[in-house]
Chains A and B, each alone.
Chain A
């Protein structure tokens, strides 16, 4: 794969995740002036994760880095637009949520309960999916809150 192919994939990813973040920003009724910021934050976070994954980084580390970018970008935009950082961070974090892993975990758990001839493969797969879901959620939480951990003293008043 050439650099151009890679760039195109990442840009496409940014477009779709930006639209997703925009939809959630409207659902959360963010102030109109912050809409573009929400979209940019969401697109950057997900596109960076995608770029890292395309270059061979694991999804957990890539999600942590993507969520950290979301956290810092949200902080920058929040200062610029005089609004709390979560306005940007929450809708931007939604595209990072491990929906498919959570779904597979759920289906797997159901199979454990209902399928009479249970294979160890299903057990193993469900455990892996469950652990991945939890790790990714933790990575999102940690990444988004990282700026407030680092800068809390600066932010303590205004």
Chain B
């Protein structure tokens, strides 16, 4: 989608924005783009949301460049233009923020929100608390991994060991993420912890296929969002973003393997 499409739809040639107004618009658009990129949106969606924000708020031209950790936006109104570079320090996955900013960008176009309302809404979305209680997430992630072990053919003891390992790992991961450690380090340490607890199964010979607990307890770390975004970015014409996200996904996968192998060495457990 190029901006010409949006021009067609938004063909309401309002008054030109002055320098200060244009500054405000580029700031809001950059903020929206940052929230999208940092919480797990694919590149096309980031670009589209920024376009709708900027054009909906009254500028008549807009260009976006999305990089893996930076977003560059230029807004144009008549002869005036403003450019902003915004760094994205770290990413996480928060679909509520992605969904909220996405909806807001549509409301800017359909309901004609003004800059002040949009700013207020962005602030609200950015500071929404997590929907799900921390311990509920721990239990559900444990249950999810236990379900995987069941799907892969494990019996109840295997699922129980998987549940224990995955819940311990989730708690450790939450603590490390909160302390803002490097994401690869977090992954290695979490996979290690999961591996140590899951080794209990093979050590004690519990269940029909005890090693299955080792595999399934680290599935909570699977880099699903970077890998799926990578595929989406390649197909939608963002090859650089596709490469960057694919490499991140690969490195996270290798970190999982490293942490798990260290745990298996330590506990004296071998393959499946």
Contacts and interface: CB of A to CB of B under 8 A. Distances in A.
A27 B147 CA distance: 15
Contacts of B6: 157
A149 interface: yes
B130 A144 contact: no
A157 B236 contact: no
Contacts of A19: 143-144, 147
Contact of B144 (A13, A20, A82, A137): A20
A29 interface: yes
Interface string B210-235: 00101110011010110111111001
Interface string B61-104: 00000000000000000000000000000000111101110110
Contacts of B52: 157
A106 B257 contact: yes
Interface in A127-158: 137-138, 140-142, 144-145, 148-149, 152, 156-158
A69 to B, nearest CB: 15
B214 A103 contact: yes
A156 B5 contact: yes
A24 B144 contact: yes
A20 B225 contact: no
Interface in B244-272: 253, 257, 260-261, 270-272
Interface in A86-139: 86-87, 89-91, 93-95, 97, 99-100, 102-104, 106-107, 110-111, 137-138
B222 A99 contact: yes
Contact of A29 (B93, B103, B230): B93
B115 interface: no
A22 B228 contact: no
A124 to B, nearest CB: 16
A21 B142 CA distance: 12
Contacts of A156: 1, 5
Nearest to B140: A23
Given A20-B144, A23-B144, A104-B272, A28 B231 contact: no
A28 B222 CA distance: 12
B9 interface: yes
Contact of A100 (B40, B45, B110, B152): B152
A68 B232 CA distance: 13
A157 B100 CA distance: 17
Contacts of B11: none
Given A29-B94, A29-B131, A107-B271, A86 B40 contact: yes
Which 4 A-B pairs give the minimum distances between C-beta atoms?
A23-B144, A141-B231, A23-B140, A107-B271
Given A16-B150, A82-B103, 4 more contacts: A100-B272, A107-B270, A141-B228, A157-B6
